[in-house]
Amino acid sequence: MSHMRRAVTESVSGLPRAFWWLWTSTLVNRLGAFVATFMALYLTLDRGYSASYAGLVAALHGLGGVVSSLGAGVMTDRLGRRPTLLIAQASTAVSVAVLGFMEHPVAIAGVAFLVGMASNASRPAVQAMMADIVRPEDRVRAFSLNYWAINLGFAISSAGAGFIASYSYLAGFLIEGAMTMVCAIVVFVKLPESRPVRTALEKAAEPAVGLGTVLRDGRFMGVVGLSFLVALIFQQGSVGLPVAMGEAGFTPADYGVAIAVNGVMIVALQIPVTRFIEHRDPRRLLVISSLVAGYGFGLTAFAGSVGVFALTVCVWTLAEIVNAPTQTGLVVRLSPTHGRGRYQGMYTLSWSVAALVAPLMSGVMIDRFGAEWLWGSCAVIGTVAALGYWGLMRRLPEEDHLAEGRVVEERATEGRVVEERIAEGPVSEAPVAGVPVAEAPVEAVVLSGADPAAPRTDSVAAPRP
- What are the Cα distances from residue 272, in Å, to 1, 22, 87, 188, 320? 14, 21, 35, 32, 14
Which pLDDT does position 406 carry in this prediction? 39
Separation of alpha carbons 197 and 444, rounded Å:
6
Which pLDDT does position 110 carry in this prediction? 93
Which pairs with CB-CB distance under 8 Å and at least 24 residues apart come from 271-274? Answer: 271/7, 271/8, 271/11, 271/144, 271/145, 271/148, 272/7, 272/11, 273/318, 273/321, 273/322, 274/11, 274/140, 274/141, 274/144, 274/145, 274/321, 274/325
Nearest-CA neighbor of 414 among 406, 422, 423? 406
Which pLDDT does position 314 carry in this prediction? 94
| 3-state secondary structure (DSSP) of residue 444 | strand
Q: Count the alpha carbons within 13 Å of 403 in the hemisphere toward its beta carbon.
A: 10
Which pLDDT does position 378 carry in this prediction? 95
Separation of alpha carbons 169 and 111, rounded Å:
16
For 304, phi then psi, to 5°, come to -130, 5
Which pLDDT does position 276 carry in this prediction? 81
Separation of alpha carbons 112 and 106, rounded Å:
10
Which pLDDT does position 419 carry in this prediction? 40
Give me the torsion for CA of 18, 93, 77, 132, rounded to 10°.
20
Which pairs with CB-CB distance under 8 Å and at least 24 residues apart come from 336-340? Answer: 336/206, 336/209, 337/196, 337/443, 338/77, 338/196, 338/198, 338/202, 338/206, 338/208, 338/209, 339/77, 339/209, 339/213, 339/214, 340/76, 340/77, 340/127, 340/128, 340/131, 340/132
| 3-state secondary structure (DSSP) of residue 102 | coil
Q: CA end-to-end span of the chain, whole Å?
A: 19
| 3-state secondary structure (DSSP) of residue 246 | helix
Report yes or no: 133 and 23 within 8 Å, Cβ to Cβ.
Answer: no
pTM score: 0.69
Which pLDDT does position 198 carry in this prediction? 62
- What are the Cα distances from residue 255, in Å, to 90, 170, 306, 364? 34, 26, 8, 21
Which pLDDT does position 201 carry in this prediction? 61
Positions in the chain short of pLDDT 50: 399-465
Which pLDDT does position 8 carry in this prediction? 59
